[in-house]
Structure formats: C-alpha cells, structure tokens
Amino acid sequence: MSNLSNDLVVRFENVGLRYGLGPEVLQDIYFELEAGSFHFLTGASGAGKSSLMKLMYMAMRPTRGLISLFGRDVAITSRKDLPNLRRRVGVVFQEYRLLNHLSTFDNVALPLRITDTRESEVRKHVEELLAWVGLENHMKAKPATLSGGQQQRVAIARAIIARPRLLLADEPTGNVDDRMAYRLMHLFEELNRLGTTVVITTHNQQLVERLAHPVLHLDGGHLHAPTRSRDTFDSGDSDSDDDQIAMPYDPDVLNYL
C-alpha cells in the first residue's frame, strides 16, 4: 500500500510533440498516473518512448496540450519553481549522464548533498545502496574506468538515493545480465512499495511479462491505454534462487526521508 495520497502525479491531456517543422512524433497523448503506481512503457525503436519521458521530466515542452506534474501545470510553472519541481523526479538516463570528474560515491551522493543532508547520513546510505547494486568495491572509481553495466548501476543508484516522488527509468536493465536485471527491478518495486510512482521503458518483453505491472504502449506516436502484463510466473518456478533475491542492506536506505 502506498504511503502517498491517492492523487495524480502525472497527467497528459491532448499532448502533441513535433521536432521543428516535421510531423508529430507524439499525437493526442492522454494518460494519468496515480501516486504509487508502477508502469512499463513499451514500443518499437523510434516509437517516441524517450520523447515521452523527456516531457515527463521537463527536458522539453510539448507542441500542444496540457502536462501536469504533482497537480501543477508545467506550462505556467515559473522558472524559479522548476528546480524544486524537478527535484521530485528521479531519472535514469539511457546514456547514464554521470559526472566524469566525480567518483562513483560522489555521483550517487550528489542528490543528497544538494539537499544539505548530513554527511554521516550521506555516507551511510550511499554505501548501503552501492553494496546492493554490487558496486561496493568501485566507490572511488571514476566513470571512465567502469563498464557500461556498472555505469548504468551508478546512474540507477543516483536516481533513487533521495527517494523521488516520481522515478523515470529509460532502459535501466539494457546493459546488465538477467540476474542483475531482476535484482534492479526488485529495488524499483521496493521503492514503489514505499510510495514512489515508477515508469520504466524497456524492450525486454520477458521482463514485462514476468512482472505483473500495467503496460503503456506507444505505436505510431499514439499511446494505447494501460493493459496488464501477462503474469508468466509458474508455481513450479516461484521458489527458484533467481526469483527469491533477498535485500542485503538496511531497508532504511529507502525509508529515511
């Protein structure tokens, strides 16, 4: 059960988006996301998934239509209020966007330090979260020395460390193996259980089918109404080691704010 009120976190109404003078890449988009919901966003390459995510994290404005975040019309939100609004949103970028001059630890710690969290708390929670994503031995490493999968896990840890109200993850399991993919999904689900609204784009149909969350599907610039993903857990598989992954860190890492 979510510990946030049952209000709307995201609302799109008749939204369209085009780049320059080209055709609309998103057309007549309408959907609502309630607080504490969890959705997959699917669609073929070029369907507009990344564009839709950019609209949700306010990296661009729509060509037409209304977008509201946390009950506020983004179009009339003042420039000085935008940073506070954006701090409620955690984003896992497909291209990571880590700061190359900072270590793994400092990249993940950044959202906490921006909000003046005590350094003792920063160290505790960053170390616990990095252990969870398997990077406890790479805390001092710079991004350039990490593999693509390791950089992806740093980006995920940075996005969730401050427990955002809304988490947007663009292909967060694209560069990790299946076991780590389900481990990371378990982390997203735990964050969701604590109240964060989650949207994850993915091409991994097996992942979508295995986890019973509603699916938003983009096709030809149009968004289809949410459907339930097919639950493919078989009773004979439910006790396998791959399915039962215990959380090895103090749950307070996601519960302290």
How crowded is residue 78: how many other Cβ atoms within 10 Å of its Cβ? 7
d(CA 15, CA 27): 6
Range with lowest mean pLDDT among 33-47, 94-108, 138-152, 214-228: 214-228
Q: Helices 148-160 & 178-193, crossing angle to 10 degrees? A: 0
Token code pair at residue 74: 């983004």
Confidence band of 229 (pLDDT split at 50, 70, 90): low
Give the helix ranges, DSSP H, for the chain: 49-56, 82-86, 104-114, 119-132, 148-160, 178-193, 205-210
**Given phi > 0 = left and psi -120 to 50 = alpha, else beta, which region is 224?**
beta
Confidence band of 184 (pLDDT split at 50, 70, 90): confident
- What's residue 246's pLDDT? 37
pTM for the full predicted model: 0.82
β-strands 89-92, 166-170 pairing: parallel
Whether 253 has a pLDDT exceeding 90, the answer reads: no
Interval 51-76 mean pLDDT: 95
Q: Which domains does the chain have, with CATH numbers?
A: 36-61+82-254 (3.40.50.300)
